[in-house]
Amino acid sequence: MSIVSQLKSVRATLPAGVELVAVSKTHLAEAIAEAYGAGQRLFGESRPQELRVKYETLPRDIVWHMIGHLQTNKVRMIAPFVALIHSVDSARLAETIQKEAARCGRVIDILLEIHVAQEETKTGWAWDELRAWLAGDPLAAMPNVRVRGVMGIATHTDDEAVVRRDFETLRSRFEALRPRFGEAFDTLSMGMSDDYPTAVACGSTMVRVGSLIFGARDYSLK
């Protein structure tokens, strides 16, 4: 199936109110242009260098999300244009985003990545660590950062009960934090190609789908 038909198939499974991030990491600009031609405007990347090149190459009305682990020394590369950073998993990263956003004269939207998976290799805040950090009201000193919600990745397993448990935990964390941030706190980013229907059933408002749209990754893009 073509990218256009795959994109339409994924869109057809999403209820109203759930945004689709087309994960274009490691795919060529031509593939993104094909999805763009079908009306997709929201794309997700995980490598700042690759994201910067695509931003400069492709139409400027594309909305770019940074979805992968972000090193502090790479924030400056994307700060002038990135619309949302999903993977904010430390105080140091949040502070760096504040610094670079202020330097650019803009406010950058972020999601707090929370670790719920059984794999220790996955990134994200431990819940108690995040609560302790927020208790100190650090965001009061970050006027150029706006927290829009929560992001997380479920355990990589064929056991749907485990995946559902992870997503339900993320939803409960999202609901617990919402009163602190108010109406702007509206995004629960969870669910990828293999598990997004379960994520949607558990309350996801944003899914990150790549291989179901673009096919296998092009690992020649280094």
Do the Cβ atoms of 44 and 208 come closer than 8 Å?
yes
Residues 6 or more apart whose Cβ sits within 8 Å of residue 168: 202
Do the Cβ atoms of 89 and 63 come closer than 8 Å?
no
CA distance linking residue 13 with residue 162, whole number of Å: 22
Q: What is the pLDDT of residue 121?
A: 76
pLDDT digits 0-9 by tens, 158-173? 999 999 999 999 999 9
CATH of the domain at 192: 3.20.20.10
In the block, residue with structure tokens 């431990």: 126
Beta partners for 21? 208
Provide the residue range defining the domain that includes 73: 3-213
Answer whether residue 219 is part of any domain.
no
Q: How many domains does the chain have?
A: 1
Q: What is the pLDDT of residue 120?
A: 76
Nearest Cα neighbor of 215 from 45, 82, 26 is: 26
Answer whether residue 141 is part of any domain.
yes
CA distance linking residue 111 with residue 68, whole number of Å: 12
What is the bridge-based pairing of β-strands 187-189 and 19-23? unpaired
Answer whether residue 185 is part of any domain.
yes
Answer whether residue 156 is part of any domain.
yes
Listing DSSP states for 150-198 in one string gives EE-----SS-HHHHHHHHHHHHHHHHHHHHHH-TT--EEE---TTTHHH
pLDDT lower than 70: segments of the chain: 217-222
Q: Pull the structure tokens for residue 141.
A: 């000193």
Answer whether residue 189 is part of any domain.
yes
16-34 exposure pattern, b = at least 16 Cβ within 10 A, e = fewer? eebebbbbbbbbeeebbeb
Answer whether residue 148 is part of any domain.
yes
pLDDT digits 0-9 by tens, 23-54? 999 999 999 999 999 999 999 999 999 999 99
Answer whether residue 218 is part of any domain.
no
Answer whether residue 82 is part of any domain.
yes
Q: What is the pLDDT of residue 192?
A: 97
Do the Cβ atoms of 180 and 139 come closer than 8 Å?
no
- The identity of residue 35, as a single letter, is A
What is the bridge-based pairing of β-strands 19-23 and 206-209? parallel
Q: What is the pLDDT of residue 75?
A: 98
Q: What is the pLDDT of residue 218?
A: 56
